[in-house]
Copies of this chain bind each other. A is one copy, B any other.
Amino acid sequence: MKFSVNRAVFVENLSNVQRAISSRTTIPVLTGVKILATDNGILLTGSDSTISIEAFIDANNEDNQLQVEKAGSIVLPSRFFGEIVKKLPNEIMHLEVKDNLQTDITAGQAAFTLNGTAGSEYPKLPEIDSDTSFTIPANIFRQVINHTIISVSNQEIRPIFTGIHFVIANNHLKAVSTDSHRLSQRIVPLEVPESLADQEFALNIPGRSLSELTRIAEDSDNIEMMVADKQVLFKTDNIYLYSRLLEGKYPDTDRLLPEDYQTRIQIDAPDLLSAIERALILSHEGRNNVVKLSIDSDQVVLSGQSAEVGEVEEELNISSADGESLAISFNPDYMRQALRTFGAQEIALRFQSPSHQFILLPANAQDNFNFVQLITPIRTPGN
């Protein structure tokens, strides 16, 4: 194998596939990045066996300055190889596999030789040949992921909760996540191909795969999602992200979202967020990490305390407060993450009682549960 390529282009694509590579893998060859050169271009592959990412550098795209002199493949140690190509001088870098899999990487007067592994030792990626394919604008899909990833569990005890549950039906995409303390839901319109329009598709995608996808797809216009039996493939421009699906049936979460409420306040999300961020300076010191919201018709007060350090109290600038008086305690970190998903908009908080889960949603939401964050309160001796 022998080629030369624009170094900045190579570095960018390498960084993308490295997102899939974990140094903690038990399969040694997966600590490497696979480089496959053909007359058409170079294909880079990284994988941790849950996620695999491929990036293609096209020989026909002049910007890539790619000259493949000899086809072939090699696996190089990901971390060193990455550090090396980032530190090389010059616009153009050269890579050549010599005898015994020794690989020369040169640019300007700098010459590295790395010990490679045969490309044939790299595991084959699953082939996804499926007619079940959907195209989603990348900015919408990134939003859906960012609004729901906060409630994904990082506990492996119930693996299904480490993913986001997607349902595609009736020309809509619904995404739900929960770690059993809170829940996020986002529903967006989706143009479904006519051949699939009557069907419903449900799949559970690992949170980590989706958060890598949001980073890779930052500059893309569209994401194509191809669904197979146990795998999903996301295509964006020149990058493919393969992810294993989580097996099992996702619990019915619709029944958790309360339609009724006894108390409702309306407030600018950033105002409440600032107050929460002040309150958690103290609550993080307390044994329970709890803050309290006390709602009356004429004032709403956020408070928190830590026996060792002190206490905090702040009257909130609300737009409106309706319904019954209520004092409710909750984890301010959950509230902070939930509030951040709303950005700068005005939101409504709807409560049933101090012991029932409560929800946050855009103040002007008509179709209520298209964008909702649910939080379970904490029972404290005080309320």
Residues of chain A touching chain B, judged by Cβ–Cβ distance below 8 Å, are 77, 80, 83-84, 87-89, 102-103, 109-115, 274-275, 277-278, 281-282, 285, 308-317
Contacts and interface: CB of A to CB of B under 8 A. Distances in A.
A178 to B, nearest CB: 30
Nearest to A104: B310
Contacts of A278: 84, 87-88, 110, 112
A310 B112 contact: yes
Contacts of A111: 312-314
A311 B89 contact: no
A316 B110 CA distance: 9
A87 B277 contact: yes
A316 B309 CA distance: 59
Given A109-B317, A278-B110, A317-B109, A77 B312 contact: no
Counting from the closest, the 4 A-B pairs by CB-CB distance are A114-B310, A110-B314, A83-B281, A109-B315
A87 B313 CA distance: 14
A234 to B, nearest CB: 32
Most chain B C-beta atoms within 10 Å of own C-beta, residue among A102, A109, A275: A109
B281 A80 contact: yes
Nearest to A312: B112
Given A110-B275, A115-B308, A84 B281 contact: yes
Nearest to A308: B115
B274 A89 contact: yes
A64 to B, nearest CB: 23
A77 B80 CA distance: 44
Contacts of A275: 110
A277 B83 CA distance: 10
A47 to B, nearest CB: 21
A356 to B, nearest CB: 28
Given A88-B278, A89-B274, A80 B113 contact: no
